Amino acid sequence: MIRINITCMVVTLVTFIYCLYLPTPAYGFPSIHEPPVLESNPAVLGSSTEITLQNADRLVMAGEIRFSPWELATALAWSPDGEFLAIAAGEQIHLIHTREWRVLASYSSGALTHSLAFSQDGNWLAAGSRDGLVRCWFQPLSSNLGSSTGLPSVIIQAHKKGVNDLAFSPDGTVLASGGNDAVARFWDLNTGQVLGLMIGGTFAVPSIAFSPDGAVLAVANGDMIRLRQVGSERILGSFQAEEPLFSLVYSPDGAWLAAGDTRNQVLLWKPEQAFRTGQENYPDPILLAAHDGREGTYRSLIWDVTFNPDGQLLASAGGDTSIRLWDIQKAILIATLRSHTAAVTSVKFNDQSTALASSGLDGRVIVWKIETGK
């Protein structure tokens, strides 16, 4: 019990440091919102080649978006059609048209944003920030952006101690949020009202994920993942890791649950094997020898994990500045992408699997693609 309490305290401390003390204008740095600088490799940017297990080792930089040193890139979200990329940098949300490679719009988020999410129909863009608010824009990609005020359509006081993660239900009707108050909540965006809540545990909730059918919400809390039935809050099963967890995601078919911990490791479980009352032991995860992984090296975070649409490929974003790509069935590393010069905070495939985007504390966002004809 002592070990569990000590290790769980690590992720809470790390989460608070991330939420409260990253260098931003609120902590003495210049409050200057410079326009991002966009550069691209035209020969690659237009590629529509699908990223698969067979060619993932041939990913190259298709485009780069650079922000000022004070505007750290902390979160990403692709629109469902894969043409638009939402980026949280500093206290701004930028919408990038990735085909035309230009800034479509920029919104003020009012605070450092930790999570972005599009609804499945693209009608909502939600941003969760360290001030505890969830800001939501209705039809953020509509044709009347030029006349838009940029103000959120809905603002929700979601968590008193900061919002860490957001997830839309697969049908887009419910938004879930996880916060530093150790609670996950469900929201109706039409009214801004809370629909329900789940007590994550004793520590902060750094990450949440809906199952593909929307029936279960996986909630990370300390070194535990609890699978909770949506609508009843009942715990259907749980997993325990050796280290505190920071990120998690379901595979698109629901066959896998992947999580990243605070010691550079990526873990895989089968949801149907989750621990249930009456069992003697928690199931052991498949452990991927992840980012560096050498004994005695600096403990760092797996900031994000994400599956490609066919669920065969997993990407992980590390505090060691790298992005790793994994063959899930064989549990082996197939490629490492290195271009960021600071921790990689988010990594996302678009729904078409034609692009992979990454953001980092170096103030850069990179779009990776397969070069056409290669």
For residue range 164-176, list pLDDT tens digits in order: 999 999 999 999 9
Which residues, at least 6 apart from 332, have a Cβ–Cβ distance to it below 8 Å?
326
- The string over 179-202, giving b where at least 16 C-beta atoms fall within 10 Å of a residue's C-beta and e elsewhere, is bbbbbbbbbebeeeeeeeebebbe
pLDDT at position 300: 79
Cα angle for residues 95, 126, 115 (degrees, 5° grid): 85
The topology under which CATH files domain 2-146+162-370 is Methylamine Dehydrogenase; Chain H (2.130.10)
Helices and strands of the chain, counted as H and E runs? 2, 29
pLDDT score, position 121? 95
Please give the chain's pLDDT, 374 residues, in tens. 334 444 444 444 444 444 444 433 333 334 456 789 999 999 999 999 999 999 999 999 999 999 987 889 999 999 999 999 999 999 999 999 999 999 999 999 989 999 999 999 999 999 999 999 999 999 888 755 544 568 899 999 999 989 999 999 999 999 999 999 999 999 999 889 999 999 877 789 999 999 999 999 999 999 999 999 998 989 999 999 999 999 999 999 999 999 999 988 999 999 999 988 667 688 999 998 655 545 444 467 999 999 999 999 999 999 999 999 999 999 999 999 999 999 999 999 999 999 999 999 999 999 999 987 65
**103-120 confidence digits (pLDDT tens):** 999 999 989 999 999 999
- Distance, in Å, from the CA atom of 261 to the CA atom of 239, rounded to the nearest integer, reads 13
What is the structure's pLDDT at 143?
Answer: 57
Per-residue pLDDT, 276: 84
According to the model, what pLDDT value does residue 145 have? Answer: 55
C-alpha distance from residue 259 to each of 149, 151, 214, 251 (Å): 38, 34, 19, 11
Q: What are phi and psi of 147, to 5 degrees?
A: -100, 0
Domain residue extents for the chain: 2-146+162-370
Per the DSSP assignment, residues forming a β-bridge with 269 are 257
The pLDDT of residue 10 is 43
Rounded to two decimals, the pTM is 0.89
Q: What is the pLDDT of residue 233?
A: 86
